[in-house]
């Protein structure tokens, strides 16, 4: 929109035409959004949809990885996963990014305890956790979302694909480590980037497209080449930002992905902002920043596949190209008039 507005005066040399063009463009965007939201009224709630329970334990970053806090924080997530009297049993329990602060695939006892909760609720527990793959020649660590069933078995895994440089890995490590540089975040070694679409195949439930941490700010990460998922799952730890504007900005950008893909999004953040967002970007339920609590809500319906989900950025690229052509043509016309 900035490019379009800046190009209008080039296309329309008269001032009133430029201003009129800008207002028409803005009105079209805002009006179109208003019409779409009006069409969304009364939709998005599915009485038969699965019940999701989002756990926001509000664990401070300074405590998250300290050895003496690992067990208390883990037990807190387990306790908060169980509904109180009068609350519905969930079909899916969701913990935030790296809620399990240990290698989930190598900790059978912890998986069994998660499985006990899943079995009691007849649900799936999805948690963010680090995991490793070991071979004879290498060990690779991943920042993952894992789905654990009532047997304590990892049934589905999605690894973070878009890693944070200097946070989750050190670029050019062989060179930069020689001059004393390392990651800014805690932990030895680097995470490896995941592969695949990041789809969690959940038996008997809609498949989820997992977006871990800041992956959710990239529109191409939310897109899929294969079958369309039923919903978007955003796991994050925004405790790094404290109470500054970062968590609010991150949440606002996450809502854009729901609108672009016309899919509901469930967001679990360690210290906030956790939320359930429908396919039109409307917040159905949320927990505030710095608040410990849970969300219990039905997963909203998905919307009709959007143009953006089908065509991506190509319509925008085409519009920019058309504006460039019009701007060049307008300038050429003005020069001819001046010469005459």
**Residues forming the active site:** 97, 160, 213
Backbone φ, ψ for residue 245 (5° rounding): -80, -10
Peptide bond into 256 cis (omega under 30): no
Q: Identify whether the C-beta of residue 229 lies closer than 8 Å to the C-beta of residue 17.
A: no
**What number of helices (H) and strands (E) belong to the chain?**
10, 12
Alpha-carbon separation of residue 179 from 172, 173, 182 (angstroms): 11, 10, 9
Q: Identify whether the C-beta of residue 231 lies closer than 8 Å to the C-beta of residue 265.
A: yes
The C-alpha atoms of residue 107 and residue 43 are separated, in whole angstroms, by 42
Backbone φ, ψ for residue 296 (5° rounding): -125, 110
Please count the residues of the chain: 340
Selection from 93, 61, 118, 56 nearest residue 239 by Cα: 61
What the block records as the tokens of 306 is 């959007």
Q: Identify whether the C-beta of residue 83 lies closer than 8 Å to the C-beta of residue 89.
A: yes
The kind and range of the H/E element at 93 are strand 92-94
Backbone φ, ψ for residue 295 (5° rounding): -115, 130
Backbone φ, ψ for residue 292 (5° rounding): -90, 130
Strands 231-236 and 154-159: unpaired
């Amino acid at each position: 929109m900035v490019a379009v507005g800046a190009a209008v005066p080039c296309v329309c040399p008269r001032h009133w035409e430029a201003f009129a063009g800008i207002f028409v463009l803005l009105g079209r965007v805002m009006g179109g959004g208003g019409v779409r939201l009006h069409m969304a009224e009364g939709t998005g709630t599915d009485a038969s949809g699965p019940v999701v329970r989002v756990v926001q334990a509000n664990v401070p970053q300074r405590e998250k990885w300290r050895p003496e806090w690992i067990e208390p924080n883990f037990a807190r997530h387990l306790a908060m996963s169980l509904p109180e009297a009068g609350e519905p049993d969930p079909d899916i329990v969701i913990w935030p990014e790296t809620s399990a602060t240990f290698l989930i695939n190598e900790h059978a006892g912890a998986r069994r305890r998660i499985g006990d909760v899943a079995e009691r609720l007849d649900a799936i527990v999805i948690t963010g956790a680090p995991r490793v793959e070991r071979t004879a020649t290498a060990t690779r660590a991943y920042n993952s979302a894992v789905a654990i069933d009532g047997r304590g078995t990892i049934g589905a895994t999605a690894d973070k694909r878009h890693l944070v440089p200097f946070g989750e890995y050190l670029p050019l490590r062989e060179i930069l480590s020689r001059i004393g540089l390392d990651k800014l975040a805690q932990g030895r070694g680097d995470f490896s980037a995941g592969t695949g679409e990041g789809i969690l195949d959940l038996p008997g439930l809609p498949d989820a497209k997992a977006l871990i941490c800041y992956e959710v700010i990239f529109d191409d990460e939310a897109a899929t080449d294969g079958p369309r998922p039923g919903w978007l799952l955003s796991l994050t730890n925004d405790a790094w930002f404290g109470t500054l504007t970062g968590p609010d900005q991150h949440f606002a950008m996450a809502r854009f992905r729901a609108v672009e893909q016309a899919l509901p999004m469930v967001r679990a953040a360690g210290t906030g902002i956790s939320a359930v967002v429908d396919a039109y970007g409307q917040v159905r339920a949320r927990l505030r920043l710095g608040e410990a609590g849970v969300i219990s809500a039905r997963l909203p319906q998905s919307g009709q596949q959007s143009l953006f989900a089908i065509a991506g950025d190509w319509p925008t690229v085409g519009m920019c190209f058309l504006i460039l052509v019009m701007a060049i043509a307008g300038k050429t016309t003005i020069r001819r008039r001046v010469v005459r």
